[in-house]
Amino acid sequence: MQPRNRVLNAVEHKEIDRFPRDLGGLVSGIPKIAYVKLLKILNLPVTDIQISDTIQQLAQIEESILKKFKIDTRHVRAKGQKSKIIDTDTFIDPYGVKYQKIGIMEYPILYYESVSFPLAKASLQDLHNYRWPKPTEEWFSGCEREAKNHKKETEYAIVADPLSGGIQEQATWLRGNEQFLHDLYNNRDFIEELLDLALVNQQEIVEMYLDNLGEYVDILIYGDDYGNQDRLMMHPNMWRNLIKPRVKILIETIKKINKGVKIQLHSCGMIHTIIPDLIELGFDILNPMQPCMNHSLLKENYGEKICFHGGVDIQYTLPYGTFQEITNEIKRVTNELGSDSTGYIFAMAHNILADVPPENILTAYNSLDR
């Protein structure tokens, strides 16, 4: 079975010859630190490694690695608007959020952390005066050619990574997480207006993105974190009142442009209470299926209505597990999320972390073939 067919069949709950595999995207990648170690153990040259995402310090994974691990997807991502570089440690993104590097002596750059937020102390008038970044054709230069080449010259499923966080995330980053949560209960008019403006900005971006990608994209990822490790960030009914209606409008916008594209939601955390809502909204794929959720129960309840993606524990088992523990984890996840032999795409529960030994990465992917 060809990789693209394997992926799309899994999403549509049709017969597949094996579980499709995803690696190399914005939420399924490998940071440069871990990637360099992987190249070394494979006796491959460690030169000219490109960074595909600055904040997470993800490496651009070579085609040889993707083929070695039998990856069925190929990711594309528009370059977007350039950030403003302050110094070697600090930059400001197009929305005005300031980031600083986080590192240790051995690894001076692990990732970048947001440290200040442009609307943290804003009034409603300040919000109205805030200038949202307007997408231009330059943001998307080259992504159509890349997607077209993959679609025409290969058999892989083409996945478009998001340019930014989703509606809730964007509002949180602009306001700051603590202030955003405070506003939910004490400044509702501000939050409603902020979310409305974030929706408009998302629509403008996705419309131009899909216009450039055209018919060449198979899956579009929408990233919007809703969960903590043990619950939603806000009460489910509040999420249904504030976030769901706006996401519904965005999905309608996407489907109007490309009704055939599959939409994957990336939302970390314990989000089981709103999975029926996510299915209702029209999401086709749910990622990352962190281990904090009951995989077996979710597959039993929703496995025929949505495709699951991810699930492999990256917090404990992958970085610290033994050979047997990692193998058992892979078996557990594939048996639970893929209990009906379809409706599941294999991946880690988010990006592989910088401290994961290369031997453990190889064990994880090699165990799939046993």
The DSSP code sequence of 266-320 is: E--S--GGGHHHHHHHT--EEE---TTS-HHHHHHHHTTTSEEE--B-TTTHHHH
Helices and strands (H and E) in the chain: how many: 15, 13
Alpha-carbon distance of 311 to 249, in angstroms, equals 28
Walk along the chain (370 residues) and give the pLDDT tens digit of each residue. Answer: 999 999 999 999 999 999 999 999 999 999 999 999 999 999 999 988 999 999 999 999 999 999 999 999 999 999 999 999 999 899 999 999 999 999 998 889 999 999 999 999 999 999 999 999 999 999 999 999 999 999 999 999 999 999 989 999 999 999 999 999 999 999 999 999 999 999 999 999 999 999 999 899 999 999 999 999 999 999 999 999 999 999 999 999 999 999 999 999 999 999 999 999 999 999 999 999 999 999 999 999 999 999 999 999 999 999 999 999 999 999 999 999 999 999 999 999 999 999 999 999 999 999 998 7
Q: Which helix (H) or strand (E) holds 55?
A: none
Residue 367's pLDDT is what? Answer: 94
Contact 279, 273 (CB under 8 A): no
Strands (E) in 14-67, as ranges, are: 51-53, 58-59
- Tokens standing for 195? 């979310």
What is the predicted pLDDT for the residue at 332?
Answer: 97
Phi and psi for 355 in degrees, rounded to 5?
-90, 10
Q: Please give the pLDDT value at position 55.
A: 96
Note the pTM of the prediction, 2 decimals. Answer: 0.97
CB neighbours of 196 closer than 8 A, spacing ≥ 6?
246
What pLDDT score was predicted for residue 105? 83
98-102 and 111-116 as β-strands: parallel, antiparallel, unpaired?
antiparallel
Q: Give domain limits for the chain.
A: 3-82+121-369
What does the chain come to in residues?
A: 370
Buried b (16+ CB within 10 A) or exposed e, 251-277: bebbeebbeebbbbbbbbbbbbebbeb
Long-range CB pairs of 239-247 (<8 Å, 24+ gap) are 239/274, 239/277, 240/274, 240/277, 242/184, 242/191, 242/192, 242/195, 243/167, 243/168, 243/195, 244/274, 244/277, 244/281, 246/167, 246/195, 246/196, 246/198, 246/199, 247/166, 247/167, 247/222, 247/281
What is the C-alpha separation between 94 and 86, in angstroms, rounded?
13
In this prediction, residue 221 carries a pLDDT of: 98
What dotted CATH number matches 3-82+121-369? 3.20.20.210
Sheet of strand 90-92, all strands in order from the earlier edge strand to the far edge: 84-87, 90-92, 98-102, 111-116
Q: Phi first, then psi: give them for residue 118, nearest 5 degrees.
A: -65, -25
Model pLDDT, residue 285: 98
pLDDT of residue 47: 87
